[in-house]
Amino acid sequence: MTQKLSDIAPGKRAAVCGIVAEESMARRLMDIGMVQGTEVECLMKSPLGDPAAYLIKGAVIALRREDAGTVLVREV
């Protein structure tokens, strides 16, 4: 079952299935490692849920909810 990366709870891991963003944002996300099959872990979310910190290929990246919502994932 696919869901948005922004819906993953802290401490959960997921694998990237695809990106549904405009071309420039999709390119930026792919540049930081958001390619199909990559495992991503949600480390923490700010008190209001935006932004959130994700562990992607050994790097901690903060993403806004809007941007994380364009990444489709499945929990692993």
Mean pLDDT (the chain, rounded): 95
Tell whether the model's pLDDT for residue 32 goes beyond 90: yes
Angle at 73 between CA 55 and CA 66, to 5 degrees: 75
For the stretch 36-73, pLDDT in tens is 999 999 999 999 879 999 999 999 999 999 999 999 99
Residue 1: predicted pLDDT: 87
> Could you identify the residue written with the tokens 């489709």?
72
What are the phi and psi torsion angles at 8 (to 5°)? -75, 130
**For residues 56 and 34, what is the distance between their CA atoms, to the nearest angstrom?**
8
